[in-house]
Structures are given as structure tokens and as C-alpha cells.
Chain A
């Protein structure tokens, strides 16, 4: 707000001088002097008001703090001791030999002793809890409390993610005066402003010293700025070192000193000062800097860590401990030595701290900002909270983000794109990608990555990149067919070439991917092997309108135009929209709005809004069960069978490949019982990426799903209205268990195809020979 006044003071001095000169020439000296004084007073008053407005405005500007989903621990949950330790570290727990206080844990081979911190969740406060957790090869085997009682469930404190900040991109974690470590206060005064307690905003001795140095070297080299002056400087974001600015700054500093007491100024400083940068996100204040650099709260920093933070104030970019470790370390040690010289710490402590590593966390998630996920959080909250409120009111937002899956997704997408990038390709033909993971049974979005550069806060491909989905649309065609009751997985449909007269008079003659017709095929195979000709025939028989309506019913927020080309996926959807549609399939025909946010509480923890699980019957569950069964076959023996090598052997999954015209877009959407992932790979300039869905997106999807330990097989409860029947995958005729190409499929009663003898091999042989003969072979 105060920034908008900035041009004013910058131009003002010259104007004032001109006016003063004019007065001086015309009037007696005394009048001129009075006028100059008056003008100066007005200017000083104006500056004072500006800085106080800035101070007040910034004082309570607390961006909404966003939390990941809390980890729920119970006997039977799939999480190992190492993973749990990592999760505790991310939440700022301290690893010790014997926990003696809340927020500590001790990890042993198959056992973890934990003393949780109390945390106020949306619905209630979880008290401190001491627990002994035993592990076996599956995960947690048992949990016992302080009195050896069995603990059924332990909800941990959720990990803090970044904040939702306003357009100025300043992020901070507000630290209350009482929570500022006294060591930090002493160190700040010693290093930055020795006479802070007594000066009036300006330290004339320091200025004198600085002036001496500056005069000797010409120009401005040494600051001599008090903490108050630095605070002013931070409010007005003006990096230039000019005398005019210094002059302005001095007046403003004095104004602040007159208006506020030292404690208030110190608290403002600790929360305001700029301490680092991450992409477009500016790290302000020691609270956030502590999380950003060390992944732990300010109160828990050790001496060498406090010293490092104080060291980088002078130049967060120049002394960036991640990029210039050596420089940062030198200055940290200088800070330690200075503190010892001034009696703030004793020499031994300084010596010991100097031997410590910088201790910079590997950014980790705690300090990281998830721009893609935050976009969805903002989008979901937009209806209920003005942006302004999110940026300033200190709200707390509880989300569904699963840190483990988010990290996995980031890693696998980056690695996959690296792998798929053609060797020696120029930078501007870079492959891009986007991915989203949901929990299909609840519609919770657990992870999102908007592009190759995870931290890039701009174009979010998950939400904003709409691309033709190709064959991803096919399950919807088959679902529309099953819903009529006239088709089953065993129904046979012709895969012969088809020509369709379009409204504009053109003729559309879609072809199969392998440019071969496969004769009469069961729907099971037509979908699993993604035959275009059979699908178009089926879609035309059912009606493109019905398919368009089905797509909308499954959760696409618009009714697509019922052009025949829709049947092969000539419709642009974002990965998020695809996830919404597939979520309804994975959920057995129930549509659930995909949600990032669970609940929002105000700064005092009072619940404001909860976003409950909502569902809407979107399709006949029996029809969905049949379609899903074909989607399992996609991974068993269809277009995505290569994923079997990557997925755990006993994990059943379902999914579908998608490839758009000229290999511009490579898609895979697939799910297990607990997780659904949609991956898109392509190029931003929409040029061909040269990848099919299985060569591209599937090669990223598979390791993502394989990497989620806790995911369980997709094995829907068999509907009592369907019976499981063995059919031949190629012909759809009834066969027997044990026949090489037979598949067990759910069919409505009465749809059982006639059985053929001897696995129907003779029949298939015959069929193949006939086809070869027809195709002019031998």
C-alpha cells in the first residue's frame, strides 16, 4: 500500500528545492527560512505517516498457513520406521536417544518411541501423547501408550506447507515477542545495531564511522543502519543507496521510534526482514527463514544456526548458504567470534559452534512451496474467502496433500521427462509434463505437479493445459453402451473400417493404430486393445449425444459438442478434468468433486468452513464395474501391459492410455483401490512429442503407483447382479479357466456367451487363417 506513494518522495526534494530557491530570491531571508522549515515539516510529517501506515499494515499481515494432511497411525497402516522418522522430521520433530519432551522421538530398528506435541486440528485438539510404536514387515504392528494401553489411532500434527500470500509474494511465519529466542535478540543487537536500546532510530556514532569509511573510499560502502532503519528500508523495498533515500529513511526511522517502543520495533524487525528467495517467493522474517533453511521452528535453533541467520541479513543472496556455502560459513564464524568478543556467548561455545556444518536442510517439503497444489487450494477457496483475507488474516488451511506422494510424484515426473527427452534435443523442444494423484474413494487430491520445474509459479499444466485426450475418452463410450443394457463385455462388435458422413459434408474414416482391422471382437478386447474402428462403431450405435452426456455426468463441467470425433477423444481436457472423470470410474460410478482443502480455521483455531466428502450417483455401478474390468485388462494384456514389469506383481490396477493426433499428447489415467493418477506428457508449443500414451505417460505413471507403498489392489466388491464368467479374450466366446487367452469377466445374468470346446483354440486358429487369407497373405 505504502509502495504506491513511492514516486512522491523521490520527486519531492527537487521540487522543494526549486520552490525554496524561488522564495529565497524574492523575499527576505527570514521568510525564506521559515518557508523551508514549513515545507520540510510537511515532508517529514508525510514520511512519518507513510511509515506508520506501512508498519501498522504489515504488523498483522499474516498469510494463511497451509497444512498437509495429518498422518494417521494405527496398527496395520503401511509405513515403515524410516518413513515415519522422515515424516516426523518434516513436521519438525527432534530425533533424540530418549524422548524427554513433546516433539521428540527415538527410532530403533523395529520400534519408535514418540512423544507427540499437542495440536489443534480442525475438529478437536489432539493432546500430547507418548507412544511406543512397533513395526513388522507390513508397517505398524502395534501402538501402545504411556500406561502400556493399546492405542487404536494416533493422528499426528500435519506438516506445514507454504503460505497463501498476496501478490507481493512475501511469505512469513509470524513470531510472537515471547517466542523470539533471547540469543537471537542479543545477536541482532551485537551484529547489526549495538546501541539499539538507547538510540532514537539513528546511531550517529555508527553513521560517523560509516561516513568516515565512505569518504575515504568515495561513494557509499558501509551502512551504519540501525535495526529501525533496516526495517524502514524493508517496507519500501528500495535497494538504491542514495543520500536522498538515506535521508528519508532516517526521518522515517525516527518517526517509528517516537511512535513505538523498542519491543514492538524488534518484533516487527524479526518478522519483516528479508532473508532469502525461492523463485518468486520472498522469504521474510526469522520464523519462516528458520523453516526454510533448517526445517525447524525458530525456538529450536542451535547457536550455530542462529548465527547463520544473523550472518545472512547483510546479503541473503550473496551469503545464500545453499549456493555460496563457503561465504556463508565464513560470515557465520565471524558472527560467532563477534558474539564471543562481546560476551554474548562464551568463547568455548563459539568455538564449538564454528566447527558445526551449516546444517542447511535439503529444502525438504517443510520449507518448500507447492505452486501447483496451492493454485488448487486458492481455486477451491476463492468462492468462500476473498484473496485479501487469505493473505492477511492468519487463517489456517488444512489440505489433503500427502507429502510422501507429492515428493514421489515430483521425483518421478522429473526423472521420467528426463528419460523421455530425445537425446541432443534443443532446449526449446523440451518435453513437459503434468500429473495429479487423487484418492478416488473420497475425491481428495493428494499431489499435483504442474510441470517439469516444480517450483515454477506460473503456468500450471494440471489445471490450465487443455489437450486432446485421445483414447482416454473410450471408457466413457463403453460405459454409455453398457448403461443401455444392450451391451456387455462379451458382446461382439465389428472392427471393420467405417466411414461417417459429417455435418459439413466431409467423410470421416478413422483408422486403427496398427492400421489393421480385427474382425468381430468382444467389447472387452476392443477397449483393452484400444481399437478405434470398433469404438467408433459402438459409439455411433449408442449415439454421440449419449456419450457426451455420459462424459458430463462423470464430472466434466461442460457438455461437449456431440461430433463423432468425440468418440476418439477429439476433446480438450486438462489433467485435472481427466482426473475428475476417471475418479468417478474408480469410485464405482459415484462422482465426487475433487478437493484440495478439508477445512479452514481462523487465527485462533475456530472452524470457519469444512469441505465435506460429497458424492453423486453418476452411472450404474454394475455398468461401471464391467468397464473397470476392461480397464484392468488394459494393464493385464492390453495397451499398458508393459507397466506390469514396474508394478508390484500382486498389485492389480486399471487404466487407459491416450494418444492424440500426430503423437502430440501422451496420456495415462489409471487407478488402484486407493490412488488414481493422471499423467500428461507433451510439448508446450503443441508440436508432436513423438510418444504414445504407453511409451510416454505410462512410463511415469507406473513408477508413481509402484512407489506408493500404502496403495492396495483395485478389486471391487463383485456386484450380486453380475456373474463372473470365463471368456476368450479374442473372440468373446465362453471358455474355461486355464485356457491361455481366457479372461474372467463380470457379466449381467443371461449374457453368458455359449461355451466352446477346447479353449476355442481351433476357432481362433481358423479365424486367424481366414483373416490372413482375406488380407491376401498365404
Chain B
């Protein structure tokens, strides 16, 4: 259940971040045929594309490359809490509890008024503390 919530929160966050790019979106990118969505392989948002790539690598157990992909996304959007949460997920899957927790704390500190992000980060922290 928590996992589903997390995924939902991540998806919500992604569309949010796609709508709030660092630099004002140009008409071209707004009219782009592919929607900037996490599930879309041809996602127009660079961070969404990298996040998707990271998920695939993570699912294949290649945590090092997965983390590298999310780091690339973070270079573009360092203030995006969902990217930090994704990094936390990868660290947890890779068995690196300390980095998982630190990344989730970073996500929490960046959530600000975004309740969904805040909740997702808090739940993640609770879960790893319970382990």
C-alpha cells in the first residue's frame, strides 16, 4: 500500500516538476507531442527521461548506474524532492541505509509546501527506521 502511495506521489511530483521547469518552458516544448510523464519512454522532460532510465536500471539491479542516472537528473533540478526520494529508494534497494536516510532527509528539507512530497519523505523515513 505504502509503495503504491509512493509511486503515486512520485508520479504527481513528476508532473508537478515538469510544469515548473527551472527556466520558463518554451512554446515548442509545451506543444511537444509526448507528455512529460514518468511512464512515457519518449518523455520530453529531461529529468523524467533520466528518472525512467534510473528506474529501469534499478529494476535490473544495476544500482550504481541507476544512482548515476538520478544524479544526472539532480544536476538539472537539484531542488526536486522527488528525485532525492528516488535516490533514497535506490540506496535502500542497494542496501545503503545511511545514504537512503540522508537522501530522504534531503527530500524532506526540500518539500516545503508540497504536502505530497513531505508525506512521501516522512513515510520513507518511518519505513527505514522500522527496519
Cβ distance B104 to chain A, nearest Cβ, rounded Å: 10
Q: Which of B30-54 contact A (CB under 8 A)?
A: 32-34, 42-46, 48-50
Residue total for B at the interface (Cβ-Cβ under 8 A)? 44
Using CB atoms, name the residue of chain A closest to B111.
Answer: A717
Determine if B28 and A152 form an interchain contact, defined as CB atoms under 8 angstroms apart: no
Contact at B23–A441, with CB atoms within 8 Å? Answer: no
Segment of A52-60, A73-81, A180-188, A560-568 in the binding face: A73-81
Distance, CA A590 to CA B106, complexed state (A): 7
A150 touches B71 (CB 8 A): no
Contact A718 B29 (CB under 8 A): no
Report A545 CB to chain B, min CB distance, Å: 25
Instruction: Report whether over half of chain B's contact residues are helix, strand or loop; otherwise say mixed.
Output: helix
Contacts of A588 in B (CB 8 A): 106, 109-110
Contact partners of A142 in chain B: CB under 8 A: 26, 28-29, 32
Q: Are A442 and B32 in contact (CB under 8 A)?
A: no
Which 7 residue pairs spanning A and B have beta carbons closest together? A441-B78, A717-B112, A142-B28, A74-B46, A141-B26, A621-B109, A153-B46
Residues of A within 8 A of B113 (CB): 717-718, 720
Chain B residues near A352: list those with CB within 8 A.
none
Shortest Cβ distance from residue A277 to the other chain B in the assembled complex, whole angstroms: 37
Inter-chain CA distance A123–B28, complex, in Å, is 30
Q: Report yes or no: B25 in contact with A76, Cβ–Cβ below 8 A.
A: yes
A221 proximal to B (CB < 8 A): no
Contact between B74 and A75, CB atoms less than 8 A apart? no
Could you count the A-B residue pairs with CB atoms below 8 Å apart for me: how many are there? 117
Q: Does A138 sit within 8 A of B, measured CB to CB?
A: yes
CB neighbours of B3 from chain A (8 A): none
CB–CB A615/B65 < 8 A: no
Check if A439 is an interface residue, CB within 8 A of chain B: yes
- In the assembled complex, which residues on chain B have CB atoms less than 8 Å from the CB atom of A614? 99, 102
A155–B75 Cα distance when bound, in Å, is: 13
The yes or no answer to A673 lying at the interface (CB within 8 A) is yes
CB closest chain-B residue, reference A674: B78
CA distance A124 to B69 in the complex (A): 11
Contact of B103 with A by CB under 8 A: yes
CA distance A138 to B42 in the complex (A): 24
List residues of B whose CB falls within 8 A of some A CB.
Answer: 21-29, 32-34, 42-46, 48-50, 64-65, 67-69, 71-72, 74-76, 78-79, 87, 99, 102-103, 105-106, 109-113, 118
What are 10 residue pairs bridging A and B, where the CB atoms are less than 8 Å apart in the complex? Answer: A72-B72, A75-B28, A77-B23, A77-B76, A153-B50, A590-B109, A613-B71, A615-B103, A717-B79, A717-B109
Given A76-B22, A615-B102, A617-B105, A141 and B28 contact (CB-CB distance below 8 Å): yes
A588 to B108, CA, bound (A): 11
A38 contact set on B, CB distance < 8 A: none
Known A76-B21, A124-B65, A717-B111; further 9 A-B contacts with Cβ < 8 A: A72-B75, A76-B25, A442-B74, A590-B105, A590-B106, A612-B67, A617-B102, A617-B105, A720-B113
| B71 neighbours in A (Cβ, 8 Å) | 442, 612-613
Give bound CA distance, A718 to B68, whole Å. Answer: 28
B114 to chain A, nearest CB (A): 8
Q: Shortest distance in angstroms between B95's beta carbon and chain A's nearest beta carbon? A: 14
Contact A673 B76 (CB under 8 A): no
Which residue of A441, A442, A610, A712 is within 8 Å of B64 (Cβ)? A610
Contact across chains for A150 and B34 when beta carbons are under 8 A apart: yes
Q: Which residue in B48, B68, B75, B110 is a CB contact (below 8 Å) of A717?
A: B110
**Is A136 interfacial (CB-CB < 8 Å)?**
yes
How many Å from the CB of B123 to the closest CB on chain A? 16
| Contact (Cβ within 8 A) A76 B29 | yes
Asked if A74 and B76 sit within 8 Å, CB to CB, the answer is yes
Contact assessment for A72 and B34 in the assembled complex, using a CB-CB cutoff below 8 Å: no
A719 touches B112 (CB 8 A): yes
Q: Is the CB of B112 within 8 A of A718?
A: yes
Q: Give the residue of B24, B25, B68, B106 whose beta carbon is less than 8 angstroms from that of A615.
A: B106
Q: In the complex, what residue of chain B is closest to A70 when comparing beta carbons?
A: B72
Q: Which residue of the partner chain, among B23, B33, B64, contacts A139 with CB atoms under 8 Å?
A: B23
Q: Complex Cα distance A589/B109, Å? A: 9
State the Cβ distance, A612 to closest chain B Cβ, in Å.
6
Given the interface pairs A75-B29, A610-B64, the reply to whether A615 lies near B99 with Cβ below 8 Å is: yes
Residues of A within 8 A of B110 (CB): 588, 717
Q: How far is the CB of A262 from chain B (nearest CB, A)?
A: 45
Could you say which residues of chain B place their CB within 8 Å of the CB of A712?
22
The interface residues of chain A lying within 8 Å CB-to-CB of B25 are 75-76
CA distance A171 to B23 in the complex (A): 41
- Docked Cα-Cα span, A743 to B69, in Å, equals 40
Instruction: Tell whether, in the assembled complex, residue A442 and residue B78 are in contact, meaning their CB atoms are under 8 Å apart.
Output: yes
- In chain A, residues 96-154, which have Cβ atoms closer than 8 Å to a Cβ of chain B? 122-124, 134, 136, 138-139, 141-142, 149-150, 152-153
A9 to B42, CA, bound (A): 68
CB pair B75 A442 closer than 8 Å = yes
Residue numbers in A under 8 Å from B29 (CB-CB): 75-76, 141-142, 150
Contact across chains for B102 and A149 when beta carbons are under 8 A apart: no
Tell me, in angstroms, the Cα distance from A136 to B25 when the chains sit together: 11
Q: Which residue of B lies closest to A590 (CB)?
A: B106
Cβ contacts under 8 Å, B69 to chain A: 123
A616 near B: Cβ within 8 Å? yes
Give a binary string over A594-628; 1 marks a CB under 8 Å from any B CB, 0 the rest: 00000100000001001011111100010000000
- The distance from the CB of A323 to the nearest CB of chain B, in whole angstroms, is 40
Per-residue B-contact encoding for A148-165, CB less than 8 Å = 1, 0 else: 011011010000000000
